[in-house]
């Protein structure tokens, strides 16, 4: 019955999809926003985490490692790496006020967390100065005690204090009320391992050998002019990103600094790399005609004899000049051909970097390549939500690092 959510500035679940005038549900008077956090249950206290300190980052890592999102059968749990958390939580414009923890007063143990980072989010023609809320996590021993609403109200207060009146967030659960719902698709890179951990079933009448053959990939990429993105490509990638994202209902509006942050791998230890971005440089004109990116995120495998983790790569952003010449999205043969070539190369590269599976959501132009590249529908859904913004249904979500 959504005791908490029905008090919040979000649409009601049952409401008909009438066309609404898009805008905030409420205008907040900053003078009415409490300057101090609300009360917490006895024995616990609010803390602002300093994630520039490796020790505090490690505490968030440990909390999520043991208690963050699992699949429906409790077989897998996301294992966000320390470098991933740095990437996701210390993005341009970050503020430590939005890295909110709850500690047990006596032991100092971190038992809950919620975070936000700023994002300029375009919803159709309007650009919202929003926060992106992620990594809400409560220790398993403190579940079902109505702590989640307390955390959500606290991050809301802290967003309001920074004059941020809207937020975007995603969840696997249904809440009032999704603006968009996407499905997960998975493309096996290491079928045998996925089979052994219980992620991929053996299709009827198939064999291990047949499955391996089915997912076999060429050794080398095929797109002429494909190479890793470098700092010198920032302006070109930003321009391509801007024009390509223009065809979708909802998308972040990135600055050059944000493209730099989200696309360009910064020097972590080799095993800690988070994001891979490739560009296509036309051999004749030297023009950057396309780019694609993917990020890496492990899941822990719970209780398997042979394997501890599954290494997944996730389709992140991409753009192609091919896709700019015709509309509407989803009806473009030339783009379909191009994206299939690019994604096939992405699969080859991800395989080379030892990923076991390549994941994608049903958003952007992904429907143009999912089937041909042998992605299969998963059982997971991802719902997209906007806080304090009434909007008509949006086709496709927005691809962010919080696709959970």
Name the residue nearer to ligand YNC (CB basis): 81 or 200: 81
25 interface partner picked from Mg ion, ligand YNC, none, CB below 5 to 8 A per type: none
On the question of a cis peptide bond just before residue 328, with omega within 30 degrees of 0, the verdict is yes
The minimum distance between CB 60 and ligand YNC, in angstroms, equals 13
Q: For the residues of 14-80, what is the DSSP string, one character each?
A: T--------B-S----GGGS-SSPPP--TTEEEEE--TTSHHHHHHHHHHHHHHS-B-TTSSEEEE-
253 interface partner picked from ligand YNC, Mg ion, none, CB below 5 to 8 A per type: none
The minimum distance between CB 394 and ligand YNC, in angstroms, equals 17
Name the residue nearer to Mg ion (CB basis): 145 or 213: 145
- Look-up of token digits 């490509």: 233
Name the residue nearer to ligand YNC (CB basis): 2 or 195: 2
Query: Contact at 8 Å (CB) between 93 and 118?
Result: yes
Name the residue nearer to ligand YNC (CB basis): 67 or 311: 67
137 interface partner picked from Mg ion, ligand YNC, none, CB below 5 to 8 A per type: ligand YNC
Name the residue nearer to ligand YNC (CB basis): 63 or 319: 63
The minimum distance between CB 142 and Mg ion, in angstroms, equals 5
133 interface partner picked from ligand YNC, Mg ion, none, CB below 5 to 8 A per type: ligand YNC
Name the residue nearer to ligand YNC (CB basis): 28 or 212: 28
Which residues are 315's β-sheet partners? 294
187 contact partners, CB below 8 Å, separation of at least 6? 215, 347, 357, 358, 359, 360, 373, 374, 375, 376
Query: Contact at 8 Å (CB) between 315 and 360?
Result: yes
Compute the Cα dihedral for 70, 72, 73, 75 and give only its sign: negative
The minimum distance between CB 112 and Mg ion, in angstroms, equals 8
The minimum distance between CB 15 and ligand YNC, in angstroms, equals 16
Interface with Mg ion (CB under 5 A): 145, 147
Name the residue nearer to ligand YNC (CB basis): 124 or 143: 143
3 interface partner picked from ligand YNC, Mg ion, none, CB below 5 to 8 A per type: ligand YNC
The minimum distance between CB 166 and ligand YNC, in angstroms, equals 6
Tally Cβ neighbours within 10 Å of residue 8. 16
Compute the Cα dihedral for 383, 384, 388, 391 and give only its sign: negative
- Look-up of token digits 């009415």: 32
DSSP strands (E only) in 172-238: 180-188, 226-228
Interface with ligand YNC (CB under 6 A): 2-5, 67-69, 131, 133-138, 143-149, 152, 155-156, 159, 164-167, 169, 171, 173, 175, 387, 404
The minimum distance between CB 182 and ligand YNC, in angstroms, equals 14
């Amino acid at each position: 019955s959504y005791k908490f959510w029905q008090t919040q500035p979000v649409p009601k679940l049952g409401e008909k999809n009438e066309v609404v005038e898009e805008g905030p549900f409420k205008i907040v008077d900053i003078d009415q926003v409490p300057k101090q956090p609300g009360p917490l249950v006895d024995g616990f206290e609010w803390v602002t985490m300093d994630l520039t300190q490796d020790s505090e980052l490690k505490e968030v890592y440990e909390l999520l490692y043991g208690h963050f999102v699992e699949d429906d059968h409790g077989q897998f749990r996301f294992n966000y790496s320390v470098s991933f958390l740095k990437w996701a939580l210390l993005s341009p414009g970050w503020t430590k006020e939005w890295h909110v923890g709850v500690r047990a007063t006596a032991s100092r143990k971190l038992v809950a967390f919620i975070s936000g980072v700023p994002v300029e989010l375009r919803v159709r023609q309007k650009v919202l100065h929003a926060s992106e809320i992620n990594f809400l996590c409560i220790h398993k021993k403190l579940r079902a005690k109505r702590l989640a609403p307390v955390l959500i109200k606290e991050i809301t207060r802290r967003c309001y204090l920074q004059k941020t009146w809207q937020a975007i967030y995603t969840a696997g659960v249904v809440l009032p009320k999704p603006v968009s719902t996407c499905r997960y698709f998975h493309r096996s890179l290491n079928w045998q391992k996925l089979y052994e951990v219980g992620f991929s079933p053996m299709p009827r009448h198939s064999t291990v050998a047949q499955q391996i053959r089915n997912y076999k990939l060429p050794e080398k990429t095929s797109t002429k002019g494909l190479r890793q993105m470098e700092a010198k490509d920032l302006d070109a990638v930003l321009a391509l990103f801007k024009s390509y994202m223009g065809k979708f209902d909802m998308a972040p509006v990135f600055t050059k600094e944000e493209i730099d942050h989200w696309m360009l791998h910064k020097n972590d230890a080799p095993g800690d790399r988070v994001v891979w971005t490739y560009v296509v440089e036309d051999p004749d004109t030297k023009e950057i005609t396309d780019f694609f990116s993917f990020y890496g995120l492990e899941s822990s495998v719970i209780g398997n004899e042979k394997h501890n983790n599954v290494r997944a790569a996730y389709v992140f952003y991409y753009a192609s000049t091919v896709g700019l010449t015709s509309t509407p999205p989803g009806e473009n043969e030339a783009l379909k051909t191009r994206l299939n070539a690019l994604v096939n190369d992405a699969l080859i590269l991800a395989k080379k970097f030892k990923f076991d599976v390549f994941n994608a959501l049903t958003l952007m132009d992904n429907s143009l390549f999912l089937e041909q590249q042998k992605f299969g529908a998963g059982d997971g859904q991802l719902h997209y939500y906007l806080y304090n913004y009434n909007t008509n249904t949006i086709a496709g979500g927005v691809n962010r690092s919080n696709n959970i």
